[in-house]
Amino acid sequence: MRMRWLGPGLFGIGAAVAVVGGWYMIHARPEPGAIIDTIAVGSDESIVIREEAHSDRSFVELHEGQTVKWEALIPHYVGTHARPAVAVSPTSVTFRVQRGPRSEVFALAMTTALKLGGFRLAPEHEPNHTPERGPITLTDHERSYELIGGDGWHQLVGVDLKTGDALWKVELGAEPVTDGGVEPGAVWVVQAGARRTFEARSGSERPSPIHS
């Protein structure tokens, strides 16, 4: 199936479709800088994310052992080793990036680094930036779950990593998200010390357990 990377109108998504030559090593020779993070993606493969020495963009590489299989430039990556902002599937890898006043998801083909496209998060709240605390991207390698928020609002967005569709969006309210994770069939977040769990496919919130 052709990767679409065009989310539904529900999210007011602005497509960032395929100006492939603008970002890639074949057209410009950026200088790799310090390593930001290394993400294991297989028994002998890893995604290495670096600073780009002469700009605020970021530099990403797919390593197989000691061999670099591909390398590419992306907009400014917002993750850190402590707060990764990457989701990997067999066909694609996504990165949370910042372009000026916009938080975005940026996608590359896993095997070739071809730019698949991307979309803006919470365009109705622009200008926006990644929250300074809590998780940024959660993933079960089938979907990514993107967290975005600001003063008085927070959202959780589910993304299908195979098709590039933004599947659903949940308004989480004013409290910041301090923790989160995935479990079979679900994604969970912690707000104000309380855990909230959502169905992975639909975003529907599961009832909170009742404690006697």
Residue 1 within any structural domain of the chain: no
Tens-digit pLDDT profile for residues 110-135:
999 999 988 999 999 999 999 999 99
pLDDT at 61: 96
Cβ-contact 120, 129 below 8 angstroms: no
Domain around 43: 9-199
Residue 144 within any structural domain of the chain: yes
- Number of domain units in the chain: 1
**First-residue to last-residue Cα distance in the chain:** 49
Residue 211 within any structural domain of the chain: no
CA 9 to CA 135: how far, in whole Å? 26
Beta pairing, strands 67-74 & 45-52: unpaired
pLDDT at 210: 61
Beta pairing, strands 177-183 & 194-199: unpaired
Tens-digit pLDDT profile for residues 42-97:
889 999 999 998 899 999 999 999 999 999 999 999 999 999 999 999 999 999 99
Residue 83 within any structural domain of the chain: yes
CATH of the domain at 142: 2.130.10.10
CA 99 to CA 65: how far, in whole Å? 32
CA 196 to CA 188: how far, in whole Å? 6
Residue 159 within any structural domain of the chain: yes
Residue 205 within any structural domain of the chain: no
Task: Give the helix ranges, DSSP H, for the chain.
Answer: none
